[in-house]
Amino acid sequence: MNQAEKEAYLREYSLLKNEGKPFYPYIVAKDSMMAVIVMAVIIFLTLMFGAEFGPKADPTTTTYVPRPDWYFYFLFEVLRVMRNVPEFTPLAAIGVPTIAMVLLFLLPFYDRSPERRIERRPVALVAGIATIAAIAFLTYSGADTGSPNSVDLKPPSNLSAAQVATFRAGSLVVGESGCLACHVIGTNGNNGPGPPLTHIGSKLRPGAIASTLRNPTAPMPSFAGLATKSPQQFQDVVNFLAELQ
């Protein structure tokens, strides 16, 4: 702001101040009135439609898909993008939001322009639109992610029709058996404590995979129960993993 702009601003300010009304009690009264109206509408809606309750919490569920409320999808997506590099998780969870908040706090200090017309603020305009677009995109992709209970890998193109059927069946069982809690397969699952299984078929033969599932090393649980209860599903899992070359 140069000297002339400063004087113009101060002149305008004192004019407005002289013709204006004091904050207390005028604005306070208006705000209180609005607060009362909002509360009344909420109470009215609650009495008319009731509060929504979700299903009862079930501590034994294995198919629950943990998801944040929609307005946190963008943060959730930032975390998800970085989830396979554990060193970056604190950066995604704490670093990025903190940097954004600090930038917002410091805005009055690094943006000293008195110009208020948006068409004369190209940098601010582009930065604002880019931020909104980024948050919208992250929110969309966060809302659109696959569940942690399914494998999103496509069958390799060199498989026969029967092998593709096994691939699909096996990946379904793997998704529902909780393997992704400990293993990465493609873009799904957690990186550890188990090793990634994306290319397990080129490392272990089907027999070795089957015996790992029957007699694994802790903390991996044994899936011998699946082999007795549903041999077909067990075989599908083994064949599916063997096809992950």
Binding site for ligand HEC (CB under 6 A): 174, 177-179, 181-183, 193-195, 197, 200, 203-204, 209, 212-213, 216-217, 219-221, 223, 237, 241
Nearer to ligand HEC, 30 or 203 (CB): 203
Residues 239, 206 contacting (CB under 8 angstroms): yes
Complex with ligand HEC: residue 153 or 204, whichever CB lies closer = 204
The first and second tokens of residue 49, run together, are: 């439609």
Q: CB 243 → ligand HEC: shortest distance, Å? A: 13
With CA atoms as reference, report the closest residue to 174 among 197, 141, 154, 208.
197
Q: Which is nearer to ligand HEC, 121 or 214 (CB)?
A: 214
199 contacts 241 by C-beta, under 8 angstroms: no
What is the closest distance, in whole angstroms, from the C-beta atom of residue 149 to ligand HEC in the complex?
11
124 or 204, CB closer to ligand HEC? 204
Specify whether the CB–CB gap between 138 and 77 falls below 8 A. yes
Considering the complex, what minimum distance in angstroms separates the CB of residue 193 from ligand HEC?
A: 4
189, 148 contact by CB (below 8 A) = yes
Task: Tell me the closest approach of the beta carbon of residue 238 to ligand HEC, in angstroms.
Answer: 8
3-state secondary structure of 189: strand
Question: Hunting for tokens 């670093």 — which residue is that?
Answer: 95
| Smallest separation (angstroms) from ligand HEC to the CB of 221 | 6
